[in-house]
Amino acid sequence: MEFGKYVDIARKKGADHAVIVDTYLVRAAPWVRLKCEFGCEGYGLRRSCPPYTPDYERTRSILDSYKHAMLVHRHWIKGYELVNTLNDLIVDLEATLFLDGYYKAFGMGCGPCTRCKKCDTSKNCIHPERMRPSMESCGIDVFQTARAQRLPIEAVRDHAQQRDVYGLVLIE
């Protein structure tokens, strides 16, 4: 496989799964951002979240300008900074792909960026080299996308419950 090297890198850096998918299999839908707007107490408080991120129509057009993506999965371990480490892995994979000639590589992480204690949304991000939008904030249906690859994901009932988180690196 052309991207096998990058799948191996992702796994060596802690991914439980990393699979190459055709971008037409990555699902985007208008209802996904509603979950952010009406279900997340952080809505509008970070540049990695709506309304600062692309809506699903723009996301779909972005996805359609790529052929492949790497879907990266990590399983939550209690007490472990999972979201931050997954997001760092996504940015690192994007950089590796870029430096290897895949100049269009772009990553999307999981959840809100927490690099800064408080994000000043009135200004540009002070960590643009490390901050990426979350998949869900861009309207990607992470559940359907993961399940289509037969990867684990279930609804989380409380904050102590184990969870599966995902990131995506677009590759061309």
Q: How many domains does the chain have?
A: 1
**Angle subtended at Cα 81 by Cα 78 and Cα 87, rounded to the nearest 5 degrees:** 130
**Checking DSSP bridges between strand 106-108 and strand 164-171, what pairing results, if any?**
antiparallel
Residue 137's domain comprises 4-171
Neighbour-count burial for 84-106, b at 16+ CB within 10 Å, e otherwise: eebbbbbbbbbebbeeeebeebb
Report the mean per-residue pLDDT for the chain: 92
Mean pLDDT of all residues in 68-95? 86
Q: For 96-134, write each residue's pLDDT tens digit.
A: 999 999 999 999 999 888 888 899 999 999 999 999 999
Which one-letter amino acid corresponds to residue 105?
A
